[in-house]
Amino acid sequence: MTEVRFADYSDLFVDAEAQGAGADLPMDDAEGTAFLEDFVAALVDELSTQAREQGDRRAAAVVEDARAQLPYGGDEEEQGLGEPFRVLGRALTTVLQIPGLRGAAQWASGVPLLWHLAQVGRYLGRREPADDGRTLDVRIRERVLHGVDPDRPLIVVSHSLGTVVAFEALGEYEGRVPLLMTLGSPLATAAAVLHRLKPQPPRTPDPVERWLNFWDRDDIVVGRPRIEKWMLPNATGVLPETDRVDSDGMWVHTAVKYLRQASVAGPLVEALKK
């Protein structure tokens, strides 16, 4: 019998005791600011490359406008921690004016998108300890693996930040993983994410027997499909296999949109039948 588990760790990102100006910021330290600057700059670079390859002059002009707004090594103490977030939010708002992204994005402006990206940075920051000293990333991985029986095959479908969590959690897992699916993943964002992963250098988790990675060109969170070039194989030689999907309509970053694609759902159904 197949069992389905959904790992929800959204409550771990909520600080009920947060007060003051810091509560209005997605990250309130210099290291978190640096991550977001790297992440947004990487996204802008990816979009610039796509616009150039497609010969889309309008998109290229929008991207260059956004690039001109990016902060570069400013003194956060002098300008205040909030200022880089406002600048990055404006740059992302500009990026979202690209026609394809404007029609597909689930964010009306760059500010809520920045909050979404900041969750990746908070996880990779490996701070925010609980009373017992366990950092945020440790608590999230424990939540994901809690109750999983390593004596039964585990098929993992992960999305967005969840792909980063799944990658690291499976490195600690001792059971079989016939299939790992990563949807809308920021793992390939080398400048911001790849070099912050554990272990280093990144390699396919040993339990994984097949890794399928899917991306949508209009999904702003996803880097270009280079992950198989930047990831080392595991002991059995497994590397991620990347395929592009093209979703229609709004909110292409959602897991539901990816799972509606036959190229995504098909391999998942076949794996579940085995």
* pLDDT at residue number 250: 67
| Tens digit of each residue's pLDDT (9 = 90 or more) over 26-46 | 566 788 888 999 999 988 988
187 and 212 in contact (C-beta within 8 Å)?
no
Taking the CA atoms of residue 199, residue 201, residue 204 and residue 205 in that order, the dihedral angle to the nearest 10 degrees is -20
* pLDDT at residue number 236: 97
Per residue in 3-40, is it b (16+ CB within 10 Å) or e — as a string? Answer: eeeebebeebbeeeeeeeeeeebbbbeeebbbbbbbbb
pLDDT beyond 60 at 25: no
- What are the start-end ranges of the H helices in the chain? 30-54, 57-69, 76-79, 82-95, 99-104, 110-125, 136-145, 161-170, 227-230, 255-259, 262-273
| Residue that has been written with the tokens 């400013």 in this structure | 74
> What's the rounded Cα separation, in Å, for the pair 121 and 51?
27
Q: Which residue has the higher pLDDT, 112 or 201?
A: 201
* pLDDT at residue number 270: 94
Question: Domain 138-273 has what CATH class?
Answer: alpha beta
pTM, full prediction: 0.88
Q: Which residue has the higher pLDDT, 76 or 206?
A: 206
DSSP structural state of residue 13: G
Across the range 115-140, mean pLDDT stands at: 93
Across the range 109-132, mean pLDDT stands at: 90
Taking the CA atoms of residue 14, residue 3, residue 219 and residue 139 in that order, the dihedral angle to the nearest 10 degrees is 30
Domain edges within the chain:
22-125, 138-273
Q: Which residue has the higher pLDDT, 32 or 226?
A: 32
Cα-Cα end-to-end distance for the chain: 11
